[in-house]
A and B are shown apart, each in its own frame.
Chain A
Amino acid sequence: EPEVTQTPSHQVTQMGQEVILRCVPISNHLYFYWYRQILGQKVEFLVSFYNNEISEKSEIFDDQFSVERPDGSNFTLKIRSTKLEDSAMYFCASSGASGETQYFGPGTRLLVL
C-alpha cells in the first residue's frame, strides 16, 4: 500500500541553524502539506502546496519557513533559522485530486537546543 515517507526520523540542531525536512508523498497525489505537533498539543496546519505553489498557509508559516518540490518525488520544508519553539514533530501529508482525505507520514522529530 502506498505511503508517505519522511526523513530524517529525528533531527537535533542548534538554535539559529537551518534545517531541511524531507518527504516523499504518495506518487499520484497532487496536494502536499506540512503540519506540526508540539509535544502534548494539537496537530497544527502549516502550509499546503498544489501545482508547484503554496495554496494556503497558516500564521505559523512565517518568513522563516519555506517549501519546495525540487523534483517529481520530493517535498521539503526548510526552516531558515531555528528557534527553541520550533521543537516539535513535523508531519508531511498528501492527498489526491479532490484534495480531501490526507494521508500522513511518520513524522520528523525536531529538537532545537
Chain B
Amino acid sequence: EDQVTQSPEALRLQEGESSSLNCSYTVSGLRGLFWYRQDPGKGPEFLFTLYSAGEEKEKERLKATLTKKESFLHITAPKPEDSATYLCAVQARDTGRRALTFGSGTRLQVQP
C-alpha cells in the first residue's frame, strides 16, 4: 500500500526565515511525486512534479528535491503570502494506475 508522511504537521516562520518541509513516501515503483499548495476551503494548486531521484525543480521562493525515499520542499525567504498547507502526493508506476496518494500536509504560517 502506498504511503506518504509529511513533517512537520505545522510550521510557523518569520518572514525571511528559510526552512524545509519533508515528505517521506513508500510506493511500489514511483511514477511521479507531486507538490501542491492548498489554501483554506480551496482546491489543491499544482506546484511541481518530480520523476526521479536527484531531480530538482524551482519556482520563485520554492525548490523541490527528490531522493529514493523522500522529497523536500525548500522555502527561501518566505513571505506572508506563502502561508498555506503544502501537500505531497505520489503516483505509482503500475499500468493503469493514476490515483494520487496524499499526505496529511504541512500547515505553514509566515508571520510579517
- Chain A contacts to B: CB under 8 angstroms: 4, 31, 33, 35, 41-45, 48, 50, 55-56, 58, 89, 91, 95, 99-107, 109
**Which B3-40 residues sit within 8 Å CB-CB of chain A?**
31-32, 34, 36
- Chain B contacts to A: CB under 8 angstroms: 31-32, 34, 36, 41-46, 49, 87, 89, 91, 96-105
Measured between C-beta atoms, what is the minimum distance from A73 to chain B in Å? 19
Measured between C-beta atoms, what is the minimum distance from B95 to chain A in Å? 10
Q: A42-B103, A42-B104, A43-B87 given as contacts; is B98 within 8 A of A99 (CB)?
A: yes
Residues of B within 8 A of A95 (CB): 98
Not counting A4-B43, A43-B89, a sample of 9 additional A-B residue pairs whose C-beta atoms are within 8 angstroms of each other reads A42-B103, A43-B44, A50-B98, A56-B97, A56-B98, A91-B43, A102-B34, A102-B98, A107-B41
Q: CA separation between A4 and B43, bound complex, in Å? A: 10
Inter-subunit contact A58/B99 (CB<8 Å): yes
Measured between C-beta atoms, what is the minimum distance from A91 to chain B in Å? 5
Measured between C-beta atoms, what is the minimum distance from B88 to chain A in Å? 11
Inter-subunit contact A31/B98 (CB<8 Å): yes
Measured between C-beta atoms, what is the minimum distance from A88 to chain B in Å? 13
Q: CA separation between A105 and B98, bound complex, in Å? A: 17
Inter-subunit contact B91/A106 (CB<8 Å): no
Q: A55-B96, A55-B98 given as contacts; is B49 within 8 A of A100 (CB)?
A: yes
Inter-subunit contact A33/B102 (CB<8 Å): no
A43 to chain B: closest residue by CB: B102
